[in-house]
Amino acid sequence: MKKKPFLIWRQSYLYVLILIAISFSINQYYAYIGVLPVDSFSTFNAGYDILNGSYPFKDFWTIKGPVLDILQAIYFKFFGISWFSYAAHSSSFNSIFGLSTYFTLRQFNLDHKYCFIYSTLASILMYPTYGIPFTDHHVSIFSILSVYCLCLAIIKKKNIYWFLIPIFLILGFFTKQTPAAYFGILISIITLLYFISQFKKEIVITIFLSCLLVAIIIFGLITLFEIPFKSILIQYFLFPMSLGETRLEWLLPFEFQRFVLRHKLIYIALSIPIFLLIKNLFKSFKSIIDEDNLIFILLLGTLLIFITHQLMTINGLFIYFLIPVFSAFSHIYVSNFKNKNRYIYFFLIFSLISTVYYHEKYISKRDTLLLRNINLNTAVNSSILDEKLKNLRWITHNYPKDPEREIQNLLETINVIKNDKKTKMIVTDYQFISVILSIEGNSAARIWWRHHIYPVHNTKYFNHWKNFLLQKIKKENIDSIYTIHPLEGEKNIFEGLISEECYTNDKINDILIIQ
C-alpha cells in the first residue's frame, strides 16, 4: 500500500528535524570537551578582532582564508561573544553538512529512512573530531557542497546548481587554499566532459554570472576595508606556494599501503561506483561522458583528493566522514544488482560499525586535540577564567595531569596583563585572553607558528614578515611584548629579526615573559 503524499512529507519533515537536532547537538557536546590552545582559540580571537576592526592580511598576518573568521565575527555579532556562539558556529555547519547530504541522496531517489541514517552517521564523524570552528572542516564542507551541486546539476538539469558551484568553491578556497583548489580542477574537468555531450550556452552564462557576482563581492570587501592587494598576494598565495615543496614531501613515499590500505574502509565504501566505472570503461571508453560515469569519476576524485590532503596536512584525522557518504552512493547504485538487499544491508551495517569505531577511536578520546591517553574526567570548568568560557571543560596536553595548575598560571598572567595599562602585543596560543579582557591583543599573526604560518629567517619571504611585524609594533605604539608559554610553534618572535641587545627578557612567572 502506497503512503499518501502528506504522510511522506510529514515523515521527511520529521527526519530533517531529528537530523538537525542530532548533528547540531553532538558537535555542540564535543566542542566543550578539551582544548588544544594553538587551534582552539585562533578563530575565537580572529573573529573577535574582525568584529573590532582588525582585518586579515592588513592587521594580522595569515595564510588561512578569511571566510571562517568573518563567519565567526558574524556569530559573535548576533549571538554574543561566548564559547556557546563559538561552538554554535561549527555545530550549525555540521547541520548544514548533514542536511545537504540528506537532500542530495533524496534527489537520487534513496528512501527517506536511508538518507536519514547515512546523513546522521556522516555528521557524527564530520565536525565533532574538532568540535570548534576549524579551517579543514569548513573547506571540506564547502568542497562537498560543490560536489553535491555538480551531481545534482548533472542528474536534475537545473541551472541553480551550476550557479552555486562557483560560490561554494570560492568560499572553500578563501577558507583554505587546499583542498578547494584541487576540487576546482576536478569539477572543471568533469564539467568539460559533461559539455562534450550536453553543452548549453545558458550553463556557461550561469557559471559566468556566479563567478562575476562573487568577484564583485570580494573586490568590494577588499576595497571597503582598504586591504593591500600585495599583502593578500604574498600571505595567501606566494608564501603558501613556497611551502608546497615541504608539504609534497609528506606524500612520499608513494606506497600502496599509505594511499590505499591505510584508508581501505573509505575505498570499500565507494566500491560499487568504482566497480561500475571500471566495468563501463572496459566495455566502451566513450561511455566516460555518460552521466553515471561522470558522477563515479567525481566521487573517486573526491576520495583521492581528501586522502592526498589528509597526508599533506599537519592536522588530525578527519576524513572518515566520507565512509557513510560513499556507502550511501554505493547503496544507490546497487539497485540493479542481483541480491541487492544483501549489498544494502552490508553498506548500512558497514557504515554503522565504521562510525562507532572511529567515534570511539578518535572523537570520544579527543584524539585531534592530542588528548587520547589523558583522563578527561580531570578537566576543569573554564568559567574560572571567565564567563565567556562557561562550561568548557579545560584540559590540555600541556598539563595533562594538572589542569588546575595551568588555570592558575593563566589567572596570574591575565591579572598582570589586566593591571598593565600600556599598549602591548600578546604573543600566545591562549588567544582567548584579549577576548575575555575586552582589549586589543595587537597580535601580528593569526597563529604564532614559524615556517607553517610565517617565514623563518633566511627564507624568501622573511623580509616581508619582518617588515609586517615591525611596522605593526610601530603603528600601534607597542610598549611591550607579552609572550605566554608554552607556544607550539614559536619561542621568541624577535629571533632572527633584531639583535638581542635591542630588547630585554623579564620572566614574570612560570609562563610569562615580557620584552
Q: Which of 198-207, 247-256, 376-385, 484-493 has the lowest mean pLDDT?
A: 247-256
CA dist 437 and 411 (Å) reads: 12
HSE-CB at 367 with a 13 A cutoff on CA atoms is 13
**Minimal CA–CA distance to 143: which of 339, 311, 301, 20?**
301
pLDDT digits (tens, 9 = 90+) for 94-152: 999 999 999 999 999 999 999 999 999 999 999 999 999 999 999 999 999 999 999 99
- Please measure the distance between the N-terminal and C-terminal CA atoms of the chain and give it in whole angstroms: 78
Q: What is the CA radius of gyration of the chain?
A: 24
| For residues 377-386, average pLDDT | 97
Query: Does the pLDDT at position 84 exceed 90?
Result: yes
pLDDT digits (tens, 9 = 90+) for 158-172: 999 999 999 999 999
DSSP SS3 for 451: coil
Task: Yes or no: say if 412 and 468 are a contact pair by the CB < 8 Å rule.
Answer: no
| For residues 481-504, average pLDDT | 90
274: its cell numbers? 568504482
Whether cis (ω within 30° of 0) applies to the bond prior to 166 is no
- What is the DSSP-derived secondary structure letter of residue 3? P
Residue 480, beta-bridge partner list: 424
**Minimal CA–CA distance to 445: which of 281, 239, 263?**
239
76: its cell numbers? 559573535
Instruction: Enumerate the domain spans of the chain.
Output: 5-369, 378-514
- What is the DSSP-derived secondary structure letter of residue 71? H
CA dist 161 and 154 (Å) reads: 9
Residue 394, beta-bridge partner list: 380
The mean of the pLDDT values for the chain is 95
State how beta strands 480-484 and 424-427 pair: parallel
| For residues 237-242, average pLDDT | 93
Whether cis (ω within 30° of 0) applies to the bond prior to 228 is no
Exposure class string for 489-514: b at 16+ Cβ within 10 A, else e: bbebbbeebeeeeeeeeeeeeebbbb
Q: Report which residue type is found at 126.
A: M
Determine the pLDDT at residue 1. Answer: 47
Whether cis (ω within 30° of 0) applies to the bond prior to 253 is yes
pLDDT digits (tens, 9 = 90+) for 291-320: 999 999 999 999 999 999 998 886 778 899
Instruction: Tell me, letter by letter, the H, E, C secondary structure of 74-114.
Output: HHHHHHCCCHHHHHHHHHHHHHHHHHHHHHHHHHCCCCHHH
